Amino acid sequence: MLHRLHRLSYPTEKDFFRKLIRRFSGALTCIESDSELIARACILPDLEWEETKTYSEGVSSTLTKSLKSVVTVGGLRASDLTGVFGIFKGITERASRDSATPAISLEDLAKWASEQSALIANLEITSQEKYECARRVLYLGGSTADLPIALTSSGWKSDQRLSEWASSIQQIVLVDHRRLRQWEEKFGEVELLDNVLVTDTSHGDFCQLKFSGSIRRWPQSRFPDFPELLNIYKSTLASAVVSTLARAWSASADEILRTSGRDALRLCEREIARSQKISLRDRSYSLRRPD
């Protein structure tokens, strides 16, 4: 059914789909609300592929595609949902039924996201893919648990391992993962400095509803227990990182932000890594341990 709903027609698409199902089948679960089955889905990392179409005139075009969820009303497709993969029962307010929102409460969504975190942690996928899933788990209100939430010079760190790593460090430089990716594309292997932490510091709508030519963020409501840090870190893995640092440093997030001052809020150029003995400097935040 998932194959049919995604309207895959090209051999490369079908092959990509089959391999994906094999890799993530362990996380594909049913979601119930009040004993009613409302979805079968899993959280995915950023997976895309390119499809080239050639027309009769010899002209070709290349499209970038990604997998998504289908939201249905009365068994008919009403909306597409990016960021997760599967089928959701939807609720619509329009008689035309050409748009719908997944019929799941924020509480049930957060519970499911936390369950996904535990399942994804045990999948045989890369740490980078698990990190990308962690971003969506947090965005949907779940606990990242054993999923990696940051990268350091000694490797990927989950919440617990990050706490252990940070316990002996007085000042941490926070770099967005997109910046590191750009340096790696330019120089290849990059060696992070010992106090540099790479994570997600940029806001993004990791799940979007698409219908009738429109796109909107989903879910639209904030979760009651979402970390109440400054807006600059909200809805990013940086919020989870600051919470972990607070525990490691026996301080509150507010104390860390006050001690760090403007360095925690304003991007400044700092040395973050080395490559072939070249010092690499980039825009980053700085967090200091309270006295």
| Tens-digit pLDDT profile for residues 121-177 | 999 999 999 999 999 999 898 999 999 999 999 999 999 999 999 999 999 999 999
N-term to C-term CA, the chain: 58
Alpha carbon distance 270, 205 (integer Å):
28
Q: Which residues pair with 284 in a beta bridge?
A: 268
- What is the reported pLDDT for 15? 73
3-state secondary structure of 78: strand
Provide the CA 274 distance to its chain's centre, in angstroms. 27
Q: What is each CA distance from 177 to 56, 183, 202, 282, in whole angstroms? A: 42, 10, 9, 12
Tell me: pLDDT of 105 over 80. Answer: yes
Amino acid identity of residue 240, one-letter, is A
- pLDDT confidence tier of residue 226, bands split at 50, 70 and 90: very low
Q: Token pair of 34, please?
A: 């009040």
User: Exposed, middle or buried by CB within 10 Å (0-12, 13-18, 19+), for 242?
Assistant: buried
Q: Characterise 250 by phi-psi region: left (phi > 0), alpha (psi -120 to 50), beta (else).
A: left
Provide the CA 54 distance to its chain's centre, in angstroms. 34
Helices marked H in the chain: 2-5, 11-24, 106-121, 127-139, 159-166, 177-187, 237-248, 253-260
Q: What is each CA distance from 281 to 41, 59, 67, 175, 188, in whole angstroms? A: 41, 43, 36, 11, 16
Tell me: pLDDT of 87 over 50. Answer: yes
Tell me: pLDDT of 183 over 90. Answer: yes
Cα dihedral sign for 141, 35, 116, 29? negative
Q: Which residues pair with 141 in a beta bridge?
A: none
- Mean pLDDT along residues 239-251: 93
**Strand order across the beta sheet in which 171-176 lies:** 155-157, 150-152, 196-199, 171-176, 278-288, 268-275, 191-192
Tell me: pLDDT of 227 over 50. Answer: no
- pTM score, whole prediction: 0.86
- Mean pLDDT along residues 198-215: 80
Q: Which residues pair with 175 in a beta bridge?
A: 198
- pLDDT confidence tier of residue 95, bands split at 50, 70 and 90: low
Q: Token pair of 239, please?
A: 């919020």
Q: What is each CA distance from 92 to 37, 72, 89, 217, in whole angstroms? A: 17, 9, 10, 16
- What is the reported pLDDT for 56? 60
Alpha carbon distance 25, 112 (integer Å):
16
- What is the reported pLDDT for 76? 85
Percentage of the chain surpassing pLDDT 70?
81
Percentage of the chain surpassing pLDDT 90?
51
